[in-house]
Structure formats: C-alpha cells, structure tokens
Structure 1
Amino acid sequence: MLDVDTSRRRIVDLTSEVRDFCAAQQDGLCNVFVPHATAGVAVIETGAGSDDDLIETLERLLPRDDRYRHSHGSPGHGADHVLPGLVSPSVTLPVAGGEPLLGTWQSIVLVDLNRDNPHRSVRLSFVAG
C-alpha cells in the first residue's frame, strides 16, 4: 500500500513506485487501485502540460458550486464524488519480466481534486500470468 499526500498536487505520478513494485514480479498483471470515493487513477503523459490540461478539463466538467445533491464538505464537494465516474479508481497494466509495459510517454498517476482529504492510499496488487 502506498500513502500519498495530495495537499500540494492534484495529480501525483506513481510510475516509479509501480515500477519498483513490479520489479519483484515476472510476467502478469499489475492492478493500481485507489480505495476512495473521490479519487481516480489514470495513464497519461506528464510533464508536457497534459497533467495540467487534465485538471483544467475536469474542473471545467465538474464545477465547484451548489448544483450537487451530495452537498457536505467544502463548496462543490459533490463534484469530487462524480470524478471516479470519469477517472476510474483503478487501472490494470501488463507486466513482462518485472517491467510494466507502458508506452514511451505514459505515466501512472493518482488524480485527486478533493480539497477535504489530502491523505490517500493506493493499493498495488499483482496476478502472475
């Protein structure tokens, strides 16, 4: 299990932690899962602006206002509960020889717009194949 602080970043790159976890494995599938109702996991390019574009797009799609039925917490917190419908709470990656088979520019990231809870857990599991 990974403990992640998202108080300073809405997108946190988990790629190196996932690579380290997979290095002890051989061939199979690695699942990356965030057990929270207000966060997700994505495979995107980072560092070239795509991470900022993703956050801006999600904030545009999920405005922080009073339109949501789920209304406790900070203003617009209901949007946080809609996020996992757009950014899945898990991804599964093929692994060969202990290495996740990511594309050249792909990274595994935690996506968290929730201002009420900056402490996240990420569960990594492996199925040999």
Structure 2
Amino acid sequence: MPETFMTRVIDVTTGSREAVYDLTRECAAFLRDVAHGRDGLLNVFAPHATMGVAVLETGAGSDEDLLAALGDLLPADDRWRHRHGSPGHGRDHVIPAIVPPHATLPVVGGELALGTWQSVCLVDTNGDNPQRHVRLSFMS
C-alpha cells in the first residue's frame, strides 16, 4: 500500500484558566477520516509559544497534579523577564521547553495505540489566549 500523508488543523477553546485539555477524541475522529485501517504515525503539533502536548492519564487527578507541578516549578509571579500579558505570563513561554509542543504516536489498524489510561492532551497555562489551533498529521 502506498505511503500517505494527511493533515488537518483543528480549533480548540482551552478557556481563560490554565487547563489540561483532552484531545484524544479529536485525534481518533481524524484517524477515522484518514487512516482507513492503516498503520502509521500521528503527529500532534501545537503551533503556539505558550503550550505543550502531553500524553498522560486524565480524570483521576493527574491533570491537576501536572498543573500543580508546573505551578511549583514555574510560578506565575514577577520573576520573569518576558513581561507582557497577565502577571507571570513569562512562565507560559517556558512551558514548551518542559512540555514540548508536539507528540508523535503510533497508529495500529487505523487507531491510536495508547496505553489503557493514556490520553493525548494540550497543556495550556496561558489564559490570555483561549483560542488555539492544533495540527494533526497522519503518515502511513
């Protein structure tokens, strides 16, 4: 079967507070449209300077734990040289160095090959920009 590359940009509203936004359903819907039962790779890329993509368990507290850990590691205070936006916004620009703005995931039989409790998530600490774009790309 020939190699295929398909891509789509989706719009996501993450809100005006820091959040872990689960993208797993959107990824699965994209793969239903384009993978057609093939194996390959799904790349999830957030073209923003202030958020990342993570694979983690959600709904059992891990998402809140991640935000708390990032708050401890990168407090939203006045220590940051990057000072535009809301107070402490400079830390949002450091997030992608800790939680990268991309993830590449295996696709088997047209479906994400995630572990039992894994979800694909956006990690967004920047409440100044609640409207986001995410590029989903599938290569078989």
Q: Does 1:73 align with 2:89?
A: no
Is 1:110 matched with 2:122?
yes
Alignment-mate amino acid for residue 126 of structure 1: F
Q: Secondary structure at the match of 2:94?
A: helix
Distance 2:104 2:26 in 1: 15
Alpha-carbon RMSD across the aligned residues, in angstroms, is: 1.0
Residue 66 of structure 1 and its aligned partner are, at CA, apart by: 1.1
TM value normalised by structure 1? 0.96
Q: Structure 2 length as normaliser, TM-score? A: 0.88
Structure 1 moving runs of 4+ over 2 Å:
none
* Aligned partner of 2:10 among 2, 8, 11: 2
Letter in 2 for 1:30: L
**CA distance in 2 between partners of 1:113 and 1:57 (Å):** 12
Which residue is 1:28 aligned to?
Answer: 40
- Offset of 1:8 from its aligned partner? 5.5
Name structure 2 gaps, 5 residues minimum. Answer: 1-8
- Is structure 2 residue 27 aligned with structure 1 residue 15? no
Equivalents in 2 of 1:115, 1:59: separation in Å?
14
Unaligned runs of 5+ in 1: none
Look at both structures and tell me which one has the larger radius of gyration over its CA atoms. 2
Corresponding residue pairs, total: 128
Give me the identity figure in percent.
62
